[in-house]
Amino acid sequence: MAEMRLIDVKKEILSDNQARAAENRELLRRNRVFMVNLMASPGAGKTSLIMRTISELQEAFGIGVIEGDIASAVDAEKVAAAGVPAVQLRTGGFCHLDATMISMALQELELAKLDLVIVENVGNLVCPAEFDLGENKKAMILSIPEGDDKPLKYPLMFSVTDALVINKMDYLGGEADFDMTAFMARIQSLNQTVRTFKVSCKTGEGLESWTHWLRDEIASCRGAVPETIQ
Amino acid sequence: MAEMRLIDVKKEILSDNQARAAENRELLRRNRVFMVNLMASPGAGKTSLIMRTISELQEAFGIGVIEGDIASAVDAEKVAAAGVPAVQLRTGGFCHLDATMISMALQELELAKLDLVIVENVGNLVCPAEFDLGENKKAMILSIPEGDDKPLKYPLMFSVTDALVINKMDYLGGEADFDMTAFMARIQSLNQTVRTFKVSCKTGEGLESWTHWLRDEIASCRGAVPETIQ
């Protein structure tokens, strides 16, 4: 029997990622920028929520967006068309963003002019949950048509998120067979501190609670509550 | 319209990988070690070919094995039990090995004592083809039951490989509906310089042409033909 060594590559990668995430966090702190890492399945409404958020907050705050996408740049084009600087990270097949990619993207934004950076992660409920980007808060979207069982299937994502946006509330009671009581009980068992927001990006319902939360978080990053907060 | 920047993450990652692969290649050159990067689908026979190769060559050469696997360490245990030092790279979900992982693994092997390092890549015909590990040669296995259409579906892998081992030849003419003439024509159209070896790791058929190729490659890395070569 010869010698056998085991190298846990993922552990090494995650520890390297952690160091780079800390650098991003420090860069954001120095610039008093609040960064939120927005994660969800494809089609849950990440881009719609970002567009709604931009239209609600762009008068009061300097906003920048980092878009992660496997192959295209369409989301960043949409954001830039709304007057918000955008960086598109085309991952070329990678299923998540990591802290090194975010570091590259942050270098492309004029952080001194920004208060809020929204990162749209790659559409995936698995891998993005494991990678700290240096964000201040993690947020995720679960849309009603995806089903109330998702916390059972993707427990890590629901455990690590600071904010949970339940989108497409307009589907509730219609086609979708979604048991909100069971869903909320599953969330509670995984994450006692998560803030939940029930919204419809289509109708605009419930979005003010989400933007209110963002305003509070931006204000606490700035170290003072600005006039724009009611 | 605000500014929009595009960052091609994959390009950055591949260029970083290329630099690290060059370091691995230099380390191997200094130690006169021949490294082969063995790629294939799951179940094509990578571990069986490695075990056969070990038993044929371990008297003549110092051999080390680097095993890539998403979650387990069983292949490295099998190799170590045969008396060959093995490093298991547990990728934790990553679908390919990269030059940084190989650099970590090479540090665990006593290269001064070795002539041949065999890397068993993660079972996948897509991503491993894109990552240079610093190997001297790339080899791949296609097993008869996988079908003669695989060069059409995974052209990059068949284009970049230096050696193609066609395994499970014992299936030919039996259950398997494999058109060898069509297959070889597809290979020729993608790769005019590839060396092909028709083998059965089960019966041992054809393996001497494969091990002869390895002996020649090892010898040219050593800079002289050793006595063990007939």
Please check whether residue A51 touches B, CB under 8 A.
no
**What SS3 class is residue A4?**
strand
| Mean per-residue pLDDT over chain A, rounded | 92
Q: Which residues of A touch B88 (CB under 8 A)?
A: 4-7
Contact between chains at A101 and B9 (C-beta distance less than 8 A): yes
A117 touches chain B (CB under 8 A): no
Q: Tell me if the pTM is above 0.80.
A: no
| pLDDT, tens digit (0-9, with 9 covering 90-100), for A125-162 | 988 999 999 999 999 999 998 999 999 999 999 999 99
For residues A51-67, give the mean pLDDT.
Answer: 96
Q: Report yes or no: B11 at the A interface, CB cutoff 8 Å.
A: yes
Which chain B residues touch A103 with a CB distance below 8 Å?
none
* Selection from B142, B128, B148, B120 nearest residue B196 by Cα: B142
Distances (CA, A) of B52 to A99, B45, B204, B206: 42, 10, 8, 11
Cβ of B7 within 8 Å of Cβ of A83? The answer is: no
For B72, nearest residue in chain A (alpha carbons): A6
Question: pLDDT-based confidence at A175, cuts 50/70/90?
Answer: low
pLDDT (0 to 100) of residue A95:
82
Query: What does the pLDDT average to over A69-81?
Result: 84
pLDDT digits (tens, 9 = 90+) for B145-189: 899 999 999 999 999 999 999 999 999 877 678 999 999 999 999
Per-residue model confidence as pLDDT tens digits over B43-77? 899 999 999 999 999 999 999 999 998 777 788 89
pLDDT band at A225 (very low <50, low <70, confident <90, very high): very low
ipTM: 0.78
pLDDT value for A159: 97
Integer Cα distance of B123 and B32 in angstroms: 28
Instruction: Tell me the C-alpha distance between B171 and B199, whole Å.
Output: 11
Residues of A in contact with B54 (CB under 8 A): none
**CB < 8 Å to A101, chain B:** 7, 9
CB count, 10 Å around CB of A42?
10
Closest CA to A77 of B8, B10, B12, B6: B6
Contact B3 A80 (CB under 8 A): yes
CA distance B146 to chain A (A): 24
Which residues of chain A are within 8 Å of residue B91 when distances are taken between CB atoms? 9-10
Question: How sure is the predictor about A222, in pLDDT bands with cuts at 50, 70 and 90?
Answer: confident
Test A80 with B4 for CB contact under 8 angstroms: yes
pLDDT surpasses 70 at B226? no
Q: What pLDDT score does B107 carry?
A: 96
**Residue B230: is its pLDDT beyond 60?**
no
Q: What is the pLDDT of residue B225?
A: 45
- Put simply, the answer to whether A4 touches B86 (Cβ < 8 Å) is yes
The closest CB to that of A9, out of B4, B76, B92, belongs to B92
Write the burial class of residue B87 (CB in 10 Å: 0-12 exposed, 13-18 middle, 19+ buried).
Answer: buried
